[in-house]
């Protein structure tokens, strides 16, 4: 791939832009995010309740969108805020900055973080970079680039820490998806008959492949879901914990954990759930006076909701059973902004396996 001139996009960048960034160029989408109460409360409190950390500081907002974090940082007393946005939403951000009389503090820059030149080092980097299951979208990569390139020694990242949390579930979604799966297998049988009768073509031999395709789509793709606490049937565990001040892209690209989760009810294990928390605690050198958490756990009112990884067929479980295994999270090959998740687990009762280890593979698309 030849080097592109600054400001020009290569063909693959154009397509990544068309696929990924473009949605962030719509006010409709920004409005959705700005109406996400949990998200807004977290960031607003993190910045405005820590105004002493921001006062007189130089701040960089990576992916400013409509400019909201940059505006709050300026209101918290920042001396200068560089607000970087890859889409033409930057023009709206500039308008909002002016409408809120902060044009002397906030400088909006349109372009890719990796291609722009910020004219000085910064004390604080704020960014709302989190995707589903924390890492979908791979936007943190750009934030880490900004950190490594522009953050002063002792500077602080907002958010500063993040965790991905998982738990075994008896998920309502399983009933629904398993029902759809059964319906599809019936529909294929009808379809085969129609193909023979109306079109003179035998298609029955593809039944097993249709089964597999539907299984992958309905039961091996992670689903966005607003879980209730009642669906959690065992101990939560962390897939990963990161300090945003020192985590690296290679670490984000292949995340693994071993886990052990005790089941707390006699029920069915039908899924694993996954979500994330972030914290705004500042850095060791520049701690936030008022640490602020932002959780996307079941019950939290955010647009991220939770990801559900179905277990099919389900497993009967008893109180005191233990689910033991490992989880691996990595990036998809063609589109690095999407994810693969693998969960390997064994159900133990009285310390002995109830069935052989299962390996479940999922896509987060």
Residues marked active site are found at: 128, 137
Q: How far is CA 217 from CA 83, 159, 200, 220, in A?
A: 39, 34, 29, 6
Q: Which of 6, 7, 23, 34 binds a second copy (CB under 8 A)?
A: 34
* Nearest CA among 10, 281, 74 for reference residue 157: 281
Q: Which of 114, 148, 193, 213 binds a second copy (CB under 8 A)?
A: 213
Give 172 or 335: the residue with its C-beta nearer to a second copy.
Answer: 335
Q: Give the interface segment with a second copy, choosing from 64-72, 168-176, 251-259, 273-281 (CB under 8 A).
A: 64-72
Q: Which of 3, 5, 104, 201 binds a second copy (CB under 8 A)?
A: 201
Considering only residues 94 through 123, tell me which ones interact with a second copy, judged by CB under 8 A.
Answer: 95-96, 98-100
Give 27 or 249: the residue with its C-beta nearer to a second copy.
Answer: 27
Cα–Cα distance for residue pair 47/84, rounded to 1 Å: 18
Secondary-structure breakdown of the chain: helix, strand, coil percentages, each rounded to the nearest 5: 35, 35, 30
- Give the number of residues in contact with a second copy, rule: CB under 8 A: 51
DSSP 303-360: TT-EEEEEEEEEEEE-TT-EEEEEEEEEE-SS-TTSEEEEEEEEEEETTEESS--EEE
Token reading at 237 = 């565990």
Token reading at 85 = 């946005």
Task: Kindly state whether residue 197 participates in binding a second copy, applying the rule CB under 8 A.
Answer: no
Query: To which residue do tokens 């962030």 refer?
Result: 24
Considering only residues 11 through 30, tell me which ones interact with a second copy, judged by CB under 8 A.
Answer: 11-12, 14-19, 26-28
Q: How far is the CB of 1 from a second copy (least distance, A)?
A: 7
Give 188 or 309: the residue with its C-beta nearer to a second copy.
Answer: 188
The site for a second copy (CB under 8 A) is made up of: 1-2, 11-12, 14-19, 26-28, 31, 34-35, 40, 44, 66, 68, 71-72, 75, 92, 95-96, 98-100, 184, 187-188, 191, 194-195, 198-206, 209-210, 213-214, 217, 334-335
């Amino acid at each position: 791939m030849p080097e592109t001139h600054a400001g020009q996009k290569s063909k693959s960048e154009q397509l990544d832009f068309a696929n990924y960034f473009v949605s962030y160029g719509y006010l409709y989408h920004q409005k959705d995010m700005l109406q996400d109460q949990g998200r807004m409360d977290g960031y607003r409190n993190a910045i405005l309740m820590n105004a002493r950390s921001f006062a007189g500081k130089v701040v960089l907002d990576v992916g400013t969108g409509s400019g909201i974090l940059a505006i709050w940082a300026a209101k918290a007393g920042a001396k200068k805020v560089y607000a970087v946005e890859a889409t033409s939403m930057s023009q709206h951000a500039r308008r909002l900055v002016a409408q809120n009389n902060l044009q002397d503090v906030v400088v909006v820059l349109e372009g890719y973080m990796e291609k722009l030149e910020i004219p000085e080092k910064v004390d604080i980097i704020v960014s709302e970079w989190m995707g589903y299951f924390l890492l979908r979208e791979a936007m943190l990569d750009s934030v880490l680039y900004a950190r490594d390139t522009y953050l002063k020694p002792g500077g602080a990242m907002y958010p500063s820490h993040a965790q991905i949390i998982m738990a075994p579930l008896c998920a309502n979604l399983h009933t629904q998806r398993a029902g759809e799966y059964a319906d599809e297998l019936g529909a294929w049988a009808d379809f085969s008959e129609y193909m023979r009768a109306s079109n003179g073509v035998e298609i029955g031999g593809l039944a097993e492949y249709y089964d597999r395709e539907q299984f992958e789509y309905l039961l091996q793709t992670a689903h966005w879901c607003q879980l209730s606490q009642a669906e959690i049937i065992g101990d939560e565990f962390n897939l990963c914990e990161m300090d945003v001040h020192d985590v690296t892209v290679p670490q984000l690209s292949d995340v693994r954990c071993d886990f052990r989760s005790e089941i707390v009810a006699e029920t069915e294990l039908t899924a694993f759930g996954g979500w994330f928390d972030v914290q705004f605690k500042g850095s060791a050198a520049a701690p936030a006076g008022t640490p602020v958490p932002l959780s996307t756990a079941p019950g939290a009112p955010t647009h991220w909701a939770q990801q559900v990884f179905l277990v099919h067929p389900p497993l009967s479980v008893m109180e005191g059973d233990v689910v033991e295994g490992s989880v691996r999270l990595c990036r998809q090959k063609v589109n690095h902004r999407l994810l693969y998740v693998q969960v390997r687990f064994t159900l133990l009762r009285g310390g002995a396996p109830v069935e052989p280890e299962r390996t479940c593979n999922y896509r987060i698309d």
